[in-house]
Structures are given as C-alpha cells and as structure tokens.
Amino acid sequence: MKRVFNISIILLFLTNCTLAQTLTTTVSSTRVAVGEGFQVQFSLSGSGKNFKLPPMSEFDILEGPYQSSSTSITNGVVNQSSSLTYVFAAKKEGKLTLGPATVLSNGKTIQSNPISIEVTKGATSSTNQNNNTSGQAVTKPTNADLGDNIFVRTQVSKSKVYVGEVIDVTFKVYTRMEMQLRNITKLPSYDGFFVQNIKTVEQTKQTNETIDGVTYVVGEIYKTYVIPQRTGKLTIEPFEIDCVVRQKSKRKPRDIFEQMMGVGYEEVLHPMKSAPVTIDVQALPEVGKPEGFSGAVGSYTYKAIMSKEKVKADDAVNLTITLSGNGNIKLVEPTKVNLPEDFETYDAKTSENISVTRSGINGTKTFDYLFIPRHEGEYKIEPLNFSYFDPAKKEYVTLPSPTFNLHVDKGDGTSATVVGGTNAKEELKVLGNDIRYIKTSTTLKEKENFFFGSTLFYALLISPLICFVLFLFIRRKNIEQNKDGIAVKSRKATKMAKKRLSIATQHLKVNNKELFYIEIFKSLYGYISDKLNIPVADLSKDHISEILKNRNVSDSTIEKLISTLDNCEYARYAPNAVSGDLNGIYNNTVELITKIEDEIV
C-alpha cells in the first residue's frame, strides 16, 4: 500500500491548456461503512505537475490510481483535462473529512475542495475491507491450516489463440473462510503481449462457484486484456496478493472463561500467489490471406469518404477512412492508398476514440489522407479495400470501398488550400510559381562565334554516348548489389527504422506517451528484424542479444537496446507510470540505431 501511495505522489498530470486551471474532488458516496471501498476522483482542468494526495491518516488506498485524459479543440483553442481515480476505505467510524489534494500549476499551488464522509460501523465479512478491525494481532499462517479453503487463480478467456487476438485475463480469489483483502503486491509481467487495462473502477464482484463438489465464494479482483504479438508458447506470470483470514485459534485457553466459551479466533496474514498460465499462440493462416492485409484481428466495419469530387489543380483533397469495431484496433496501421503519381501526398493523420471496458476493446480509428492534384484531368482512385481476420469464423474478411472519381480543372496559380479540418495545413508550403519573373532590361550584342563546330558542340554531340556507357555501368553494379536479397534488406533497415520513427515524432508533438512508446518499440523490433533477416515472430530479447553479440556489437550497446525495449514494453500498458523526457528517449533511440549500424559486422 505504501508503494502505491508513493507512486501517486510522483505521478505527473499530462496536459497543456490555455484556460484557467482547477482541481476538483468528487466521491461516489458520502456515506460508507468502515472498510467499505468508495471511489474518489481528482479532476484537473489545465496543466499541472507534482500532484499530492490529501492527508491519508484516516483512509487506506484499496485501488488506483487510474488515469484518464481528454482533449478538445474549440475555435482553435486546445482544451485538455486529466483525472486520477482511486478506491479509498475509511479506517474508523465517525464524521471524517477528506482534505484537499494539491497540484503545482504555473508556479502556484492549486487545492481541491475538501469533502465530508460519514462512516458507519463496518461489516466484519467484507472482502474489500483493507484494515484489521477486530483488535486481534495478525499472526503468520501455516499453509496446512488453510488447505484448499482459500486460493487465487488467473483465468483467461482462451488458452489457444491467434497472433493479434484479444484475450480476457481475470484475477480471482476463491475462499470458504472469512477474509479481508489487503492489496495486490505484484502484478504479472506480460512478455510478448500488448496490454490494455480497464480504466474504470468497479467494486469487487462476488459470485459462487463449485469446484469438485466444493462451493467457494469467488471475488473478481482485477481484469485486463492482453494481445499476443508473436507465435509460440507465451506465459502470463503469477500475480500475488495479501489477505487477512479469520480462523480458529489453536492456543490453549488462558482462563476459565475461555474454557467455558470455547476456543477463540485469530486473524492470520496470508500471502497468496497464482499459478502461471501458458497461452498457445498460433500464426494467422496463410491460406486465403488477402493482399495488403495489415494485421487487424477482430470484428470491424469500415467506410471511406472523399471530401470533394471536383476541384481545381493545386487544391487540397481529404480522403477519410474510418474503422470501427472491437479487437486489436489500437494496433491497426493506416491503409496503403495508391494515388496517381502526379498527386502530391502527405502521411495519414491518425485519430482514435477507443474505450477499454469490461465488455472489451471497442471504438473507432480514423485515418485522414491529404493529397493535392497538380494537373488538370480525370482521375480514378481504386477501391481501398480493408481486410481483417475474424477469429470466431477463423477466416479473413474483406470490406470493400467505392471507387472514387476526381475531376480536376485547371488551377488559378494560387497556393494550395487545405480543406476538411485537418492539421496538415501547417505542413504545406508554397512550391513555386510557373513563371518567376520577366527581366525587362537586357543588353543585346552580336555574337561572332558560331555554335556549330565549336568545342561545346562536339562535347554535346558525344555526351549521349558517354551517358549511355555510364548508365550501363551503374545498372550492372546495381544488379550485382541487389542479387543478395538479405543484403538489400539489411541496407534498407536503417531507412525503414527512420521512417517508423517519423510516426513516433508525430505522437511526440502531442505528448501522447502510449502511442509514442508503441512506435519506438515497433521501430526497434522492425529494425532488428530487417537488419538480421529474422521474422519479428521469432525474435526474443535473448535471441537478439545472442545474435548481436556474435556480430561484434558491444555489450554496452546490447544492454542499452534491451533496456530500451523493456521500458517501451512496460510503458505500453502503464504509460502514465513512466516518467522521462520523450525528446531524450527519441534521440537516444536514433543514437542507438546509429551505434548498432556502426558496430555490426
């Protein structure tokens, strides 16, 4: 519990806004029982850092923090807000006051509003109770005493899945005894998985479940979603929790009154650990895989809209693709769009509205493509079909889009106009005019020497032959270099890594930690895969270390690479618990790729 409190103290609120900053405290209920969990939300409008919880001498933290943020743009003004959500429990009955939380904003300390909580006498059997209210000493248990009366399990929705398929992971406690849940002491690691945590806070759900004829009270204490990123046997490591169990005391009665009343009870601190769970991850089938398949797994709908069908040359056009559904939608990359060669194109702008709830990972992802036709004419944009793999049907599904026809009239010579509400306007610049200027004052003089028969004449006469011979030489050399497909892929590895890092730069500009770390992770894995000619599915950290060492890469560089991959992997499912300068992380990644490129043989 102390560790969770320390983490919340150093957590930074991530926002920049131009409006006045306010910090507000809200609670799910102002009347609770001792030990009963209630939700507390601290909401910040504006920018802030160094968030501090109110004094916690009369309260315990059961869960949290859970962070969420939102962004909106109104008339060019960016409005952002963040919130931290906890589950608290009161330690004693009476009228208690939850004091103000504080945050530092623009050099000033902002305080939230205090809230009065009326606390009644607690129920002794509450599984959410986080403190010892019996007044008895907590003793160390023996496993023989508890037997199979209490244990924990990691439950998964499927143990045999495809790469990219979403798996529900639920942590449960089974008990036939009176117990109080203390706190989760260790969450599992997820090597090889992309993790999505549920951000909403809910009270622990209780059900009854019969195992081998024995009925247990089952408490669901934590739930998350994992998406396997490579094939093979992947393991979800155990999680650990502490609880207090109330059981009969084995000590002898101390006096005649205890002899008459019978044996007493004592409270026992009982740490528990679940068993690891192995997931068998299969590769997606090659049979029937559509051309251009980008790795989407789940169930989706899809539509594509073009902002205009008739424009003038040098006017901008937006092509918007919207993907909706459930599955690994966060990992879906932009669809490849084949446009005519004389169109000026820009990278797709990606926006998403995805929710992670108990019902699954659902939402929409939008890709906005900006292009500028430079010449008049009739153009046809081929259908932008989208394909995904449906694990329920075990087959690929292709969603078609219409064919777009674009009529381009002759332009008026002005610079491009951006339409459709995209931010790409900032990236456009005047490419030039067809006619720069006309020189009005020149001095003409008679030229005495004729061009025909001059040195320049003969030089130009034989220049085509020289160029042709040079072309044959370069062509032959290029063919020789491209014979080795592995070497070609290796030479292009750095170029592809820089291209992937350009996407991370876009997330860096808007301070989106989660997507930034995902792109850094994908860039490093993609670079290593291309450089070493090893499929991403066959890569692991140990495998990478072994091969790079054999290729004479220094131990310090390998250690830095593995450390960066570990940080990115952790940040993918806990981005807000990771601190650090994103610019520095980006620069270190570029430097790391350059170092490997220099050292590898």
Mean pLDDT of 91-111: 88
Residue 355: what pLDDT?
A: 86
Token pair of 457 as six digits: 């004449």
Does pLDDT of 535 surpass 90?
Answer: no
User: Which of 23-37, 156-170, 224-238, 435-449 shows the lowest per-residue confidence on average (mean pLDDT)?
Assistant: 435-449
Average pLDDT, the chain: 76
**For residues 351 and 368, is the Cβ–Cβ distance under 8 A?**
yes
pLDDT at 389 over 90: yes
pLDDT reported for residue 75 = 55
Which of 84, 89, 113 has its CA nearest to residue 9? 84
Which position has the higher pLDDT, 56 or 260?
A: 56
User: How far apart, in Å, are the Cα atoms of 101 and each of 3, 9, 26, 139, 437?
Assistant: 18, 11, 11, 35, 65
Beta-bridge mates of residue 219: 173, 206
Please say if the pLDDT value at position 427 is more than 60.
no
Contact 11/577 with Cβ under 8 angstroms? Answer: yes
DSSP 8-state symbol, 297: B
- On the question of pLDDT at 132 being above 50, the answer is no
The arithmetic mean of pLDDT across residues 515-534, rounded, is: 81
Give the separation between CA 54 and CA 42, rounded to whole angstroms. Answer: 11
What is the pLDDT at residue 490? 55
Structure tokens, 239: 């999680």
Task: Say what the pLDDT of residue 434 is.
Answer: 44
- Which pLDDT score, from 0 to 100, does residue 74 have? 56
pLDDT of residue 578: 58
Q: If we measure between CA atoms, which residue out of 518, 521, 526, 539 comes closest to residue 494?
A: 526
Tokens 């005391």 belong to which residue? 249
Instruction: Please give the C-alpha separations between residue 507 and each of 195, 235, 349, 539, in angstroms, as whole numbers.
Output: 19, 31, 11, 26
Token representation of residue 482:
């491209």
Query: Which of residues 57 and 489 earns the better pLDDT score?
Result: 57
CB 54 within 8 A of CB 99: yes
Encode burial over 91-121: b for 16+ CB neighbours within 10 A, e otherwise.
Answer: beeeebebbbbbbbbeeeebebeebebebee
Higher-scoring residue by pLDDT: 553, 437 = 553
Of 64-78, 270-284, 512-526, 536-550, which gets the smallest average pLDDT? 64-78
Contact predicate 589/564, CB 8 Å: yes
pLDDT at 146: 63
Measured distance CA(221)–CA(87) in Å, rounded = 13
Half-sphere exposure of 585 (CA within 13 A, CB side): 27
Predicted pLDDT at 22: 86
pLDDT over 90 for what percent of the chain?
Answer: 13
Give me the count of residues in the chain.
601
Half-sphere exposure of 472 (CA within 13 A, CB side): 5
Instruction: Select the more confidently predicted residue: 13 or 599.
Output: 599
Average pLDDT over residues 96-125: 82
Q: How confident is the model at residue 493 (pLDDT cuts 50, 70, 90)?
A: low
> Which pLDDT score, from 0 to 100, does residue 425 have?
39
pTM: 0.46
Q: What is the DSSP code string of 518-538?
A: HHHHHHHHHHHHHHHT--GGG
Strand, coil or helix: 155 = strand
**281 has a pLDDT exceeding 90:** yes
